[in-house]
Structure 1
Amino acid sequence: MSEPVLVTEKLVAGYGEASVLSAISFSLSQGKTLALLGRNGTGKTTLVDTLAGLTTYHSGTIRLMGRDITKLRADRRAAAGIGWVPQERNIFKSLTVEENLTAIARPGTWSVERVYAMFPRLKERRRNLGNQLSGGEQQMLAVGRALMVNPKLLLLDEPLEGLAPIIVDELLAAIRRIVEGEGMSAIIIEQKARKVLPLSDEAVILDRGAIVYRGASADLLADETVLSQHLGVEKGIRH
């Protein structure tokens, strides 16, 4: 059996002296996708930011492909194989699309041409500056940039937030190709559980910085009671 791509053990972290995450322990197998769910303010972004190396560490461990990365800086974690797409996207708005992609590229199977094949809109706008792109195009560029570091694990923090429905469908299709067709391991935060659960293998629900549910995504998708209790998803309503 292959080694998990990610293992966290009793992870406690937050901001300054304040702890947001409480003894978070879970693992993710290689080639699998985890849906990270929970109401607003439950610690989802803090967990992803902690994996990326951007919060205050208190205790516990993080291992990536068996390597302890707990004490590594954010740039070292990126070099180790963490690809991160934050809510803010963090693209270089004064650089062109192509410059954004090449600026942080690392050797591997993902290249500029592969990103363009995944997101044809970016190829059409390859000479446009980041601030000349629509919100959806900026999100595609943020995902493309993360792929260009050729990560072992892709972290996506609400990649569909604020996007038009047609762009949501386009981005969902691309994410599906990345995690299913390419076998990329990923953790995806998404407020609309029914959007992300069909894309994922496993699901974790956080509440007050602690894991309150973990199981197969298909099981959670079929469990109206848990969806309603922990996520506020109304029975019979397709979000």
Structure 2
Amino acid sequence: MLLRLDAVDAGYGDSAILSQISLSLAPGQALAVLGRNGVGKTTLLKTILGLTRLQAGRVLFGDADASRWPPERRARAGIGWVPQERGIFRSLTVLENLTAVARPGPWTPERVFALFPRLAEDRHRGGEALSGGEQQMLAIGRALVLNPQLLLLDEPMEGLAPVIVDEVLRALSDIFRAGGIAGIIVEQHARKILRITDQAIILERGRIVHRAASADLAADATPLTRYLGVG
């Protein structure tokens, strides 16, 4: 197993946001994290990254107990992060954004350009000149050239035009289907993200209230209607 959370309680300071979260993820698997705003989805990602206060339980990565690892050690161990704010270097070109952080491995800037042809065309443009969709592609590419084992994405389709959403979905599907990288994706577009993930969980008030294979949840929308108001 690549990642395992055992009965995790976590939050900020003395405030508990997550309660009794248990999940596991094998190499190459993709997990959708669904739920309404404010239920703890981003906090779950930040807990895996080591950016919250772990109040109970354990976070295991590979064969190691990573519960007390600082964020930088988790990143070095192979946890990649695509934040909702994207966080690209706006003063650098697309190519410089990728080469500045690249680590040895199968994911190179050229492979990112093959995944996102729009970025290949704009490789010498500055980050500030990119559209929102191109910035999102660059944020994903920058995480990939770190050659992580696990990729965490926080609402990667937020604010994107439908045609760009489709491009990002195809790219994420290619990443996970190629194997070697597992993914956890927080997303509001439940129906779309279920198409490219293996498993799904629904959070409510910091707890997992439903878990299922993504295909099963897509086929029976009852839990989506109950917890997300999605038909």
TM bucket (normalised to shorter chain) is over 0.9
Distance, in Å, in 2 between the alignment partners of 1:144 and 1:69 is 25
Partner residue, 1:18: 15
Q: What CA distance in whole angstroms lies between the structure 1 residues aligned with 2:163 and 2:109?
A: 24
Gapped runs of 5+ residues in structure 2? none
CA distance in 1, matches of 2:36, 2:146: 30
Out of 110, 114, 120, the position equivalent to 2:111 is: 114
Which of 125, 128, 131 is the equivalent residue of 1:128?
125
Q: Which residue in the other structure is 1:237 paired with?
A: none
Query: Who is 1:214 aligned against?
Result: 211
Residue 58 of structure 1 is matched in structure 2 by: 55
Per-residue deviation at 1:205? 0.6
Question: Which of 38-47 and 216-225 deviates more?
Answer: 216-225
| Of 184, 190, 193, the match for 1:193 | 190
1:70 aligns with 2:52: no
Work out the number of aligned pairs and report it: 231
Does 1:172 find its partner at 2:169? Answer: yes
Paired amino acid for 2:178: G
Structure 1 residue 15: deviation in Å?
Answer: 1.2
User: Which of the numbers 43, 46, 55 marks the counterpart of 1:46?
Assistant: 43
Shift of 1:137: 0.4
> Aligned partners of 2:172, 2:27: CA distance in 1, in Å?
16
Higher mean C-alpha deviation, range 30-39 or range 218-227: 218-227
AA at the equivalent of 1:55: T
Aligned to 1:231: 228
SS of the residue 1:199 aligns to:
coil
The offset of 1:183, in angstroms, is 4.5
Matching residue's letter, 1:176: S
CA distances 1:79-135 after superposition (whole Å, capped 9, x unpaired): 100011010001111111111112221211111111111111111111111111100
The Cα of 1:159 is off from its aligned counterpart by 0.4
**Greater mean alpha carbon deviation, residues 70-79 or residues 41-50:** 70-79
Counterpart pick for 2:31 among 28, 34, 37: 34
**What's 1:93 paired with?**
90
Tell me, in whole angstroms, the C-alpha distance in 2 between the residues paired with 1:52 and 1:91. 18
Moved more, 31-40 or 52-61: 52-61
2:94 paired with 1:102: no
RMSD (Å) for aligned C-alpha atoms: 1.1
Partner AA of 1:14 in structure 2 = G
- Give aligned-pair identity as a percent: 58
In the alignment, the residues of structure 1 paired with residue 13 and residue 91 of structure 2 have an alpha-carbon distance, to the nearest angstrom, of 32
Deviation (angstroms), 1:67 = 1.6
Q: Which residue of 1 aligns with 2:4?
A: 7
User: Quick one: distance in 1 between partners of 2:102 and 2:209?
Assistant: 37
Moved more, 52-61 or 42-51: 52-61
Equivalence for 1:163: 160
Displacement, 1:31?
Answer: 1.2
Give the drift of 1:182. 3.7
Moved more, 175-184 or 81-90: 175-184
Structure 1-normalised TM-score? Answer: 0.94
